[in-house]
Structure 1
Amino acid sequence: MLPPRILRRLVLAPLVIVVTAFMLVTLPLWLVVTAAASLRLPPPQRKGPRFVWFGMSWLTLESAVLIACLWLWLVGGARGQERHYALIEWALTKVYAAAVRIFRLTVEIEEPAPTEEEQGARLTRPVIVLSRHAGPGDSFLLIYHLLARYRRRPRIVMKAALQYDPSLDVIINRLPNAFVPRKSGQRRIIEEIERLAQTMGDRDSLVIFPEGGNFTPRRRRLAIRRLEEKGLDEEAERARGMDHLLPPRPNGAITAIEGCPSADVIFVAHTGLDDLITLGDIWRKLPYSARITAKWWRVPASEIPRRREDRIRWLYDHWEQIDDWISAQRQAAGTAPPAGHAR
């Protein structure tokens, strides 16, 4: 059970700053110990010092964000939201730079050339972002690029347990976002999506992960079984044809579109670190040079189907397009699974 907010502020936030100070003082010891332990491992698994460096960078940024949030709370001001968005952008820029430097991360984004209408709509129309959910930090990278590259103000619905992270707890709760308890059910998530969509302005973007979680073969089988039990045979058949994605849950996306009819929709595909789900996966499989490839498709609001049934088919159409794109990327990289792997 999540502790009350006042307890999180008085205990968890100061604890992060204390731990950061301790780690800074003892950093040479941690580096020596992890480097010595790594010598017993084969070269591909000698990742200890890199994880220590990244963990130290993360803790330092956590503490910096908490101190900055305390200062913003003290000074107040009418531009509070803009200052908090700027703080998030600064922190994610530093996290991204650390990942590039420590894990040799590269991110390549393939984006279709915008039409003249889309060029003018980039900053004059809200957007709903529908992204696949896979790999570590995909939401952080997505939010970073929305802020830094596209000058957007992202909104997102997240699990309430993420409030155990003090900097996320403080800064996200001060902006138009939502934390949803795990036991609250799908209805609460839909209500929060509707609330966030209805109040979007021209520079806002609502980020949704229609799959509801990271892909695993077991989750895929269970999702298809649920569709069959509900009598959704067409959706189940289309889901069986996708090897890399869970079938999309349409309610959240449709609620967002209905809540903000003027918004364009952006579909996001990405691949590269798909198999790194747990901490164990990251430790065992993280390559020496990490590479993420992404592609975005933009659908103008005028081209979005009007009827619910058509919108569900339209969503599956784009999900199949993303699945085909991932297959092509994996084949090009020589990492395609054998035929029928997900099945």
Structure 2
Amino acid sequence: MPPRILRRLILAPLVIVLTVVVVVTLPFWLLVVAVASLRLPPPQRRGVRLIWFAAAWLVLECGALLACFALWVAAGFGGRLRRDEFQTRHYSLIKWFLARVYGTAERVFRLSVTIAEPPMTEQEQAARLTRPVIVLSRHAGPGDSFLLVYHLLALYRRKPRIVMKAALQYDPSLDVLVNRLPNAFVPRRVTESGILDEITRLSSTMEDHDALVIFPEGGNFTPRRRRLAIRRLEEKGLAAEAERARGLDHLLPPRPGGAIAAIEACPSADVIFVAHTGLDDLVTVGDIWRRLPLEAKITAQWWRVPAAEIPREREDRIRWLYDQWETIDDWIAAQKVAG
């Protein structure tokens, strides 16, 4: 990755210039894509929608960058950015940005998200924000982490923390916003212990309204990745885990290290499991171009495991994590049959 100062001086201005060019020439590109799509059947004429969404994203990127600059000036040219008041303002800015991205996706892609929540008593509702949570979610489809973070902020009033790939810092607004908050970017070739250290750091300092987001699979599901993951388990002599991984049809086997590190660093935290499906087959840009549906529908379900019910021993926790992953896999299979 280029040094932070170069990313600030080059990538951020470049995005602003690109946005101006795209907005000025947008009618031309919409016309070109519309004409090029005439030879395709109607369900495949998605080029106009993708161009429109890309332009809206760039405009929002510029808005977020300008707001970040204003906050930097207001914080004494960066001197007070770590204070609670400015941390709260940055979370509000992320919420604003994701809300408008979500609204644009609703209009352009007819996106709908249905979330099934577990039934809770009034007492449970009131106690929901009295302790931190560790969110363990499947990893599938484009933008799942964005949607998850948005709902944590907007619906559940949580302050999410997340460990992300360092390459995401090529996105200027993401680079600035995320680096000003308690999150972590990990380089591509970082060791597993380095990742666990970052998870431990983020988890150990959580307060009542915080939520640490982890994707135990480590990446999107593909049949090839599934085979490689099972082979790795076999090579490590983990025959029981490899056998259970073969029973997962829609998920990669979970990597328990990160989840266990987070639980050990914050033993008072409840654990929330998130299952979702709907855009599982849209992994690459090519997939989106070829198979983006006219209506993007995502169905999600989550459930909470109180801290007192989490197993205490490491081996028991690994089996418990696989149990939860099998539950998610069965839920996805049922949703596909229903769909």
| Structure 2 length-normalised TM | 0.97
Q: Which residue of 2 aligns with 1:279?
A: 285
How far the C-alpha of 1:249 sits from its partner, in A, is: 0.3
Please give the per-residue CA displacement for 1:245-280, whole angstroms capped at 9, x wherever unaligned.
000000000000000000000000000000100000
How far the C-alpha of 1:115 sits from its partner, in A, is: 3.9
| Structure 1 length-normalised TM | 0.95
How far the C-alpha of 1:184 sits from its partner, in A, is: 1.1
Q: Which runs of 5+ in 2 are unaligned?
A: none
Partner SS state of residue 160, structure 2 = strand
How far the C-alpha of 1:218 sits from its partner, in A, is: 0.7
> Which runs of structure 2 are paired with 1:133-148 in the superposition (5 Å)?
133-148=139-154
How far the C-alpha of 1:41 sits from its partner, in A, is: 1.4
Amino acid at match of 1:272: G
Q: Which residue of 2 aligns with 1:151?
A: 157
CA change 1:302–1:115 in 2 (3 A) is farther
CA RMSD of aligned residues (A): 0.9
CA distance in 1, matches of 2:59, 2:117: 33
> Which runs of structure 2 are paired with 1:82-161 in the superposition (5 Å)?
82-116=88-122, 118-161=124-167
Q: Which residue of 1 aligns with 2:230?
A: 224
**Equivalent in 189, 196, 205 of residue 190 of structure 1:** 196
Partner SS state of residue 39, structure 2 = coil
CA distance in 1, matches of 2:24, 2:224: 44
CA distance in 1, matches of 2:58, 2:36: 23
Q: Which residue of 1 aligns with 2:212?
A: 206
How far the C-alpha of 1:116 sits from its partner, in A, is: 5.0
Amino acid at match of 1:37: A
**Equivalent in 298, 305, 310 of residue 304 of structure 2:** 298
CA distance in 1, matches of 2:145, 2:262: 18
Partner SS state of residue 183, structure 1 = coil
CA distance in 1, matches of 2:296, 2:52: 16
CA distance in 1, matches of 2:123, 2:13: 49
The worse-fitting range, judged by mean Cα deviation, of 235-244 and 65-74 is: 235-244
The worse-fitting range, judged by mean Cα deviation, of 198-207 and 32-41 is: 32-41
How far the C-alpha of 1:328 sits from its partner, in A, is: 0.2
The worse-fitting range, judged by mean Cα deviation, of 229-238 and 204-213 is: 229-238
Amino acid at match of 1:13: A
How far the C-alpha of 1:117 sits from its partner, in A, is: 5.2
* 1:41 and 2:40 correspond: yes
Partner SS state of residue 301, structure 2 = strand
**Equivalent in 302, 314, 318 of residue 324 of structure 2:** 318
* 1:61 and 2:67 correspond: no
* 1:72 and 2:71 correspond: yes
Partner SS state of residue 144, structure 1 = helix
CA distance in 2, matches of 1:287, 1:23: 25
The worse-fitting range, judged by mean Cα deviation, of 16-25 and 324-333 is: 16-25
CA distance in 2, matches of 1:237, 1:119: 39
* 1:308 and 2:319 correspond: no
> Which runs of structure 2 are paired with 1:217-296 in the superposition (5 Å)?
217-296=223-302
Of all paired residues, the percent bearing the same amino acid is 73
* 1:26 and 2:25 correspond: yes
CA distance in 2, matches of 1:121, 1:129: 17
Amino acid at match of 2:289: W
Q: Which residue of 1 aligns with 2:11?
A: 12
Q: Which runs of 5+ in 1 are unaligned?
A: 334-343
Please give the per-residue CA displacement for 1:212-266, whole angstroms capped at 9, x wherever unaligned.
0000011111111111111111111111111000000000000000000000000
Partner SS state of residue 128, structure 1 = strand
